[in-house]
Chain A
Amino acid sequence: MKFWRLIVANLFRKKIRLILTIGSFAIALLLFTFLAVVQSAFNRGIDIAGADRLVIVNRIGLIQTMPISYADKIRAIPGVKFVTQNHWFGGVYQDEKNFFPQFAIDVENHRQVYPEFKVPDDQWKTFVQDRQGAIVGARTAKRFGWKVGDRIPIKNTLYGPTKTWEFNLDGIYSTDKASGDESQFWFQWKLFDENVPAYAKSTAGWYILKLDSPDDAVRVAKVIDTEFANSSYETKTETESAFAAGFAKQFGNIQFLIVSIGSVVFFTLLLVTGNTMAISVRERTSELAVLKAIGVTDRSVLFLVLGEAMMIALFGGLLGLLLAWLAIPGLSVALNGLLPPLLLSKTMLSLGLVFAVFVGMVSGLIPGVGAMRMRVVNALRRV
């Protein structure tokens, strides 16, 4: 540690080069963090999925419906505690850009299945009694400036001729977790059922059931799928996390894309920093030789080079993370609800920092080992 002053002094030897290297590090970290945040947003459904919940969809695909009569049959299966159904509405509020998910929900069982969505009791009571009522997530309410009591017009083109459905905003839900989904818009399934064309009546988009015990998941899923096998509406039952993962996959192989881009970022950064360190060490061959001549050990020389690379990594990394911390909330707003909220967690920040330090260490290792192995006599001869 006595050589810290030398490390710091060496850092500032070529200021332009230092700024450019730190800049490339910061931009790479910003990109890395952004990718991690997007991936996390896609996986959020999987992460927060209840272990004791199963989702039942039509075996043909998510857009195919199932009869509403399935609800009672599912409820009768041992191990099933509660059953509720959702139906995708797919409406547009003012402009198609204003996307947010809208579901027709079963008001009798929804709260039991989704206890993590918190709605004040009085608001829920009003909602249940109001056939045109709606509950919206806090994030969507904030996004459009909605308040309880507002009248919300939503245009729909999926069910029959284009029609604007009017809803009364009776309540706003929130979640315990910062990463919880507060973007949904719920209204009563009964209203939906009354207003859709005959082909869509008495149908559910998907069922969600709560189990007595998560241990029953495999058995109950098998029983349900067997129950409806060979019917016109065969089912596919899976855990909520598997369902969420499958849903995320509809966007393409996000994981692969992100890992690919992340790898490119990593190696580019490694090359940039490694090259900078290699040039820097080469320029200082005689100085390092003198240090060795006066008694600085090979290991200390390695630490000097590594220390410098790590400092660059640390400064660049911290700057990149700071930029990410400032930019990601704005980016989340700019995405206009296309993705779940982009959240930069402490874990991600720590991971970014670890990533930065790791890149710094690896990039300093090759020139550092070279400096460590350098023979003083040869190095002094090069002067």
Chain B
Amino acid sequence: MIRVDGRGDSKSLIQVRGLTKTYRRGGEEIHVLQRLNLDVDKGDFVAFMGPSGSGKTTLLNLLGGLDVPSAGSITVDGDEITHMSGSKLTHWRARHVGFIFQMYNLIPVLTAFQNVELPLLLTKLSSSERRKHVETAMSVVGLKDRMNHYPRQLSGGQEQRVTIARAIVSDPTFLLCDEPTGDLDRKSADEIMALIEELVGKHGKTVLMVTHDPVVAARAHTTLHLDKGVLVEASQLKQEVVAGGVA
């Protein structure tokens, strides 16, 4: 169950407490996230929405260990990541996080197979074991017959599928998706969302997704809005808007 009130139990897969991120631009301090709380259980699928500059991507970066908070803590599967050293965090990312980016970010000079294999090169798996894992991941995203294609030989939707295969190939604890359909047409976006739903429903993956698109967000279990640096549940936001309107 997803909670933003900081009262989730310690069994939550992801526990965020008092997360604060402040940037300094010129002489001015910009408070992007302010004492934010979040609890996400295994198998949850949560979408983050909010206007540009509201801190969605910052939150995703913090959850993925790509950035460090100004204050607060993030605990994932019992590991507190906020105080990990840079190299420890790198190893933690390799083990626990699968990233799906808006622009796919595949390596153009590697084939789909080689792109998906990249995270496995950081493990001790043998070449044949890696092949097996890559083939499984490519089957999940329905591109087993495109393994030897280069990114330029694939459509946008197919490229994003390869990105998803790369994200899931090492069986990470959770997936972070930053606008996964932002660069796709509606049909391809639907296919990608169907795939992400399948990863959650069929394979039990935990997915945290940033999106601008309400249609895409509606496919998540819960949609959270980032507003003035804090998370608000969609239903609560609706009530606040209505209350504001009546007043």
Residues of A within 8 A of B (CB): 2-3, 5-6, 9-10, 12-13, 286-287, 289-298, 376-377, 380, 383
CB <8 Å contact, A5 and B66: no
Determine the chain A residues whose CB is within 8 A of the CB of B103 once the complex forms: 286, 383
Min CB–CB distance A380 → chain B (angstroms): 7
A292 to B97 CA separation, bound complex (whole angstroms)? 12
B118 (CB) vs chain A CBs: closest residue: A294
Min CB–CB distance B210 → chain A (angstroms): 13
A128 to B93 CA separation, bound complex (whole angstroms)? 87
7 A-B pairs besides A2-B121, A290-B101 with CB distance below 8 A are A3-B121, A5-B114, A6-B118, A287-B107, A294-B119, A297-B90, A383-B103
A294 to B64 CA separation, bound complex (whole angstroms)? 10
Contacts A3-B121, A12-B109 given; indicate if A298 touches B86 (C-beta within 8 A): yes
B62 (CB) vs chain A CBs: closest residue: A377
Dominant SS at the A interface?
helix
A291 to B94 CA separation, bound complex (whole angstroms)? 10
A377 to B32 CA separation, bound complex (whole angstroms)? 15
B148 proximal to A (CB < 8 A): no
Q: Which of B93, B101, B107, B114 interacts with A295 by CB under 8 Å? A: B93
B residues 116-172 in Cβ contact with A at 8 Å: 118-119, 121-122, 166
A288 (CB) vs chain B CBs: closest residue: B107
A288 to B88 CA separation, bound complex (whole angstroms)? 18
Determine the chain B residues whose CB is within 8 A of the CB of A5 once the complex forms: 110, 114
* Interface contact tally, CB-CB below 8 A: 65
Residues of B within 8 A of A (CB): 61, 64, 66-67, 86-87, 90-91, 93-95, 99, 101, 103, 105, 107-110, 114, 118-119, 121-122, 166
Min CB–CB distance A296 → chain B (angstroms): 7
CB <8 Å contact, A295 and B109: no
A289 (CB) vs chain B CBs: closest residue: B105
Determine the chain A residues whose CB is within 8 A of the CB of B166 once the complex forms: 294
- Enumerate 14 A-B pairs (CB-CB under 8 Å) in ascending A order: A5-B114, A6-B114, A9-B107, A9-B110, A12-B109, A291-B118, A292-B90, A293-B99, A294-B119, A295-B119, A296-B118, A297-B90, A298-B87, A380-B66
Q: Which of A9, A290, A296, A376 interacts with B122 by CB under 8 Å? A: A296
9 nearest CB pairs, A to B = A295-B94, A9-B109, A2-B121, A290-B105, A376-B66, A377-B67, A295-B93, A294-B119, A295-B122
CB <8 Å contact, B114 and A294: no
Contacts A294-B99, A298-B86, A380-B101 given; indicate if A10 touches B109 (C-beta within 8 A): yes
Q: Which of A2, A3, A6, A290 interacts with B99 by CB under 8 Å? A: A290
Contacts A6-B107, A296-B122 given; indicate if A377 touches B61 (C-beta within 8 A): yes
CB <8 Å contact, B67 and A295: no
Determine the chain A residues whose CB is within 8 A of the CB of B121 once the complex forms: 2-3
Min CB–CB distance B176 → chain A (angstroms): 9
CB <8 Å contact, A293 and B66: yes
Min CB–CB distance B123 → chain A (angstroms): 9
Contacts A2-B121, A377-B67 given; indicate if A294 touches B93 (C-beta within 8 A): yes
Min CB–CB distance A169 → chain B (angstroms): 65
B176 (CB) vs chain A CBs: closest residue: A293
CB <8 Å contact, B90 and A295: yes
Min CB–CB distance B57 → chain A (angstroms): 8
A376 to B67 CA separation, bound complex (whole angstroms)? 8
A293 to B103 CA separation, bound complex (whole angstroms)? 14
Determine the chain A residues whose CB is within 8 A of the CB of B61 once the complex forms: 377
A300 (CB) vs chain B CBs: closest residue: B122
**Candidate in A293, A296, A297, A376 with the most chain B CB atoms within 10 angstroms:** A293
A290 (CB) vs chain B CBs: closest residue: B105
**Candidate in B67, B107, B114 with the most chain A CB atoms within 10 angstroms:** B107
CB <8 Å contact, B105 and A383: yes
CB <8 Å contact, B66 and A287: no
